[in-house]
Structures are given as structure tokens and as C-alpha cells.
Amino acid sequence: MNHSIKVGFSFGTTSGIITTLGLMVGLYSGTHSRIAVLGGILTIAIADAFSDALGIHISEESENKHTSSEIWQSTIATFLSKFLIALTFVVPVLLFQLTTAIIVSIVWGVLILSVISYRIAKNQKTENWKVVAEHLLIAFIVVLVTYFMGQWISAMIT
């Protein structure tokens, strides 16, 4: 896999996991509404995938080190990976009760993030567990903070 695609894939996949899980958990804890969670996932899959793709596009352009082709490869890889990863979180919401779907989604996100983190550590020849633990800690913090934010918002509104 060339560098441009690797950048887009890594960024898009990681962002897709963290952003989608954060939104899902926050909406779940604040509303307990399947339709709100589904709407949030689809919004992330479309709007945030385009936003992240544009962000990578502009970031790569600003480095002034990449060809137009490399920039577009990163842009498209970011969009597709974020879009497709976000959509995978729809499946548990459609198949299970919402509480179970949230748990399944967290497990799914942790699994994908662990695999990506392990591969990064292996490529960098660093201690695998440190890289995986660091990335999972960040994901855990996002899930925890968004859960309590959803609770707080629900309490403030009701």
C-alpha cells in the first residue's frame, strides 16, 4: 500500500471508529433512541467523511511535498474508509436492541482499532502493547466523556 493511501486509510478508519462510537454513545446515553443513533451514524458517514477527506486534502496540499495524484489518493482513501467504517456500525443497531448494539459496536470498534494499532506498532518496530494501549485509552476516554455528556444534556433538558 503506498504512503498516500495508507495515510488516508489510517486516518479515515481511526476517525470513523472514534467519531462514530463517541456520537453513538452520547446519543444513546442522552436519548435511548434507536432513530437518533441511526441518524447520527448516517450523518457521520456522510458529512464527517467529506469533512475529514477535505481536511486531509488541505493538509496534504499545505505540506507542498505531494503530487496532485498523491493528494487525491489520500483524499479518496480517507473518505471511503471513514464512510465504510461508519456504516459498519449501522449493522448492530439494526440487528440488536439498542443497549446490546452499543456494546457490540464498542467491541467492534475496539477490535478494529486494536488491529490497526498493532500493525502500526509492528511497522514501527515498537512495543505492540504500548501503542495498542495508548490508542485504546484515547478511545475509552472519548466513549466515557460522550456517555456522561449525553447524560448531562438529558438531565439539563428534562
What are the residue ranges spanned by the domains of the chain?
3-157
Q: Under 8 Å CB-to-CB from 119, ≥6 apart: which residues?
A: none
pLDDT along the chain (158 residues), means of 10: 88 96 97 97 97 94 90 95 98 98 98 94 89 95 97 92
Query: Which three three-digit cell numbers place residue 151?
Result: 447524560
Cα–Cα distances in angstroms (integers) from residue 9 to residues 43, 47, 75, 108, 132, in the given order: 20, 17, 9, 17, 17
Q: What pLDDT score does 158 carry? A: 78
Q: What pLDDT score does 57 carry? A: 93
Query: pTM for the full model?
Result: 0.92
